[in-house]
């Protein structure tokens, strides 16, 4: 069972010999106990930032293309997209077949397709073949779409702050102690206890490294999703 926000906060408070919160007073916590809530979220954010390919941050989303529009923002919490995963979903209502889009880099788009797409009219719009990442970290599609295609994709998400007492962390329960060590570090920093902060910071860093070893490094042969496999575009292709 996923660990709740109140459990993380109370485990941290217990380590500090402080009075624990109840589900009744959790939302109105003030003073030091409110700082501990902030410290737990700071720890969770730091875990996420230490390694963007932790599998518990891996998720999926979809976007709906608009005829005549080439570039789109991705999910608001996206950190790193798996650019090899972009695919058009089958949709009988618009006669769309399932199709994996081919990744090209932005320079290839500029050199091969930018001028063509810039001069395109509605009669030139058609089903996209390629996806590219824009300089503003959006997803671009070429040729320019002619219909409301649904595009599904995978990505690694930023950690979201916990708020309600029953909110649960995405980090696996077996690493709860790492999150608490991180929360203790931030709490000791609040208290200007540099010695204890240094001790818990080291434990936190060691815990994150163990997480990386167990959850990421052991799958190095199959996990390269950050950049995607760039392909050569034959002359005469779309």
pLDDT at 88: 98
pLDDT digits (tens, 9 = 90+) for 112-123: 999 999 999 999
CA–CA dist 178, 50 (Å, integer): 13
Cβ proximity of 73 and 209 under 8 Å = no
Output the tens digit of pLDDT for each of the chain's 238 residues: 689 999 999 999 999 999 999 999 999 999 999 999 999 999 999 999 888 789 999 999 999 999 999 999 999 998 899 999 999 999 999 999 999 999 999 999 999 999 999 999 999 999 999 999 999 999 999 999 999 999 999 999 988 999 999 999 999 999 999 999 999 999 999 999 999 999 999 999 999 999 999 998 765 444 444 444 444 454 455 5
Q: Where are the alpha helices (DSSP H) in the chain?
A: 5-15, 31-50, 106-112, 114-118, 176-190, 194-215
User: Of 209, 232, 213, which Cα lies nearest the Cα of 201?
Assistant: 209
For the chain, domain boundaries = 5-54+158-219, 59-155
User: Of 51, 48, 67, 46, which Cα lies nearest the Cα of 149?
Assistant: 67
CA–CA dist 158, 51 (Å, integer): 11
pLDDT at 231: 43
CA–CA dist 168, 32 (Å, integer): 22
3-state DSSP of 180-212: HHHHHHHHHHHCCCHHHHHHHHHHHHHHHHHHH
pLDDT at 237: 53
pLDDT digits (tens, 9 = 90+) for 18-60: 999 999 999 999 999 999 999 999 999 999 988 878 999 999 9
Q: What is the pTM of this model?
A: 0.79
Element at 7 (helix H, strand E): helix 5-15
């Amino acid at each position: 069972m996923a660990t709740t926000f109140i459990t993380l906060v109370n485990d941290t408070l217990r380590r500090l010999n402080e009075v624990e919160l109840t589900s009744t007073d959790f939302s109105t916590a003030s003073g030091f106990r409110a700082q501990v809530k902030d410290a737990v979220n700071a720890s969770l954010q730091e875990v996420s930032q230490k390694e963007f390919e932790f599998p518990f941050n891996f998720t999926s989303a979809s976007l709906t293309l608009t005829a005549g529009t080439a570039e789109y923002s991705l999910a608001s919490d996206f950190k790193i997209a798996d650019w090899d995963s972009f695919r058009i979903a089958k949709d009988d209502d618009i006669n769309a077949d399932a199709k994996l889009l081919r990744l090209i880099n932005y320079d290839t788009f500029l050199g091969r397709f930018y001028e063509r797409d810039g001069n395109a009219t509605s009669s030139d719009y058609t089903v996209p073949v390629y996806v590219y990442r824009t300089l503003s970290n959006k997803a671009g599609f070429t040729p320019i779409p002619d219909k409301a295609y649904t595009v599904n994709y995978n990505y690694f998400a930023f950690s979201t702050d916990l708020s309600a007492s029953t909110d649960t962390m995405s980090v696996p329960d077996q690493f709860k102690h790492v999150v608490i060590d991180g929360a203790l570090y931030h709490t000791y920093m609040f208290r200007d206890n540099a010695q204890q902060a240094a001790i818990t910071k080291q434990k936190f860093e060691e815990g994150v490294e163990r997480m990386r070893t167990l959850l990421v490094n052991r799958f190095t042969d199959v996990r390269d999703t950050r950049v995607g496999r760039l392909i050569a575009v034959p002359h005469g292709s779309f």
